[in-house]
Structure formats: structure tokens, C-alpha cells
Amino acid sequence: MKQDIYIRKAVEADIDDIEKLYEDVCDYLKMHKNYPGWKKGIYPARFHAENGLIKQTLYVARMEEKTVGTMILNHDPEEGYKDGKWLTEDDYRHICVIHTLAVHPDALKCGVGTELLIFAEQTARKEGCVSIRLDVVKGNIPAEQLYQKNGYELAGTVSLGYEDPGLYWFHLYEKIL
């Protein structure tokens, strides 16, 4: 039986749970293949969630009273997005960007990622956006499969300036709404 997933804007009381989710994801990735190259305490970390909370762009997915996913949804592209071959014009007042979409390891394969994407699309449509964009470190096969399955199209491969931690190339994805 599929569990109900509830998504809402995060509040201050969610920050500890989101930090724990980030830590649990990083611990899981350390024990398995770390497709996104995330590092505990570096990215994603509590201050990323706190910044999203301050800007009111942080969302949380809950299932059975537990935090099972999170994302930041805003209109702030990475600098390297200017080098993408996007499907729409790049006026970010009308384009949403998904950052730091994370699903707790205990909730993998439960539809949380898809529900977060559906929620992002609904939110973007309410805001009058024409598309949603995101980036994925090249080789993050599970994430790329999720985005492709949900109608996102590859819009290029660029550097986002994260070579220092070893993240050289990112695939850019866009979904026209």
C-alpha cells in the first residue's frame, strides 16, 4: 500500500529534521555509490536549509510523521546555467530552479522524489512559470533517471565551478510547463 506523502513549505521546527535527513543521506552515500558527490557537513548541510528557510524557498516532504524528503525551489540559477542550451527563454522571474532535492534512504523507492517534482511543478504553475530547471552532477544515474522519467529534458553539460571537490561536469535539465 502506497503511503501518503505530504509536502509543505518548511518552518523553523523542521530544520533539525532536515539536517538529520542530510546527514543520513550522506552516511548512506558513503556506504554505497555516492553518485552526487555529497559530503556530510559540507553539502548539503544545515546552513543550506537555514538559508532556504530564511528565503522561504525550503520545502519538506513528510510521510507517517517523518521527514522523508526536502528541496529548495526558487528563481536563482547557478552561474553556469548561462552556458546551457535551454528550451525556454532565460527570464528567471518565470522559471523555477530546483536545488538540493534529497530523499531519506529509508524512503527510497517510495515515490518521494516524484512527489517533490510534482509539487514543484504545481508551485511553478501557480507562480506563472514557463519551466523548471535543475542540475545533476554528471554520472548521477539515479537522479537523471528520476528527472527523465518525470519529463525533464537534457539541456547541456556545463561546469558549475565545483572542481575543487571533484565535481567537474553537471547535466542541466529543464521541463517546460
Sketch the domain layout of the chain as residue ranges. Answer: 6-176
Q: Is 150 exposed, middle or buried (0-12, 13-18, 19+ CB in 10 A)?
A: middle
Cα distance between residue 173 and residue 38, in whole Å: 19
pLDDT at 168: 84
Q: With contact defined as beta carbons under 8 Å apart, do 32 and 108 qualify?
A: no
pLDDT at 1: 43
Q: With contact defined as beta carbons under 8 Å apart, do 18 and 48 qualify?
A: no
- The C-alpha angle 126, 127, 132, rounded to 5 degrees, equals 100
Cα distance between residue 49 and residue 68, in whole Å: 14
pLDDT at 3: 74
Under DSSP, is residue 149 helix (H, G, I), strand (E, B) or coil? helix
Under DSSP, is residue 97 helix (H, G, I), strand (E, B) or coil? strand
pLDDT at 2: 56
pLDDT at 166: 74
Query: Mean pLDDT, 10 residues at a time, over the chain (177 residues)?
Result: 85 98 97 93 96 98 96 96 91 97 96 97 97 96 97 95 81 97
Strand bridging mode 95-103 / 170-176: unpaired
pLDDT at 162: 82
Cα distance between residue 73 and residue 89, in whole Å: 19
CATH H-level, domain 6-176: superfamily: Gcn5-related N-acetyltransferase (GNAT) (3.40.630.30)
Strand bridging mode 66-74 / 95-103: antiparallel
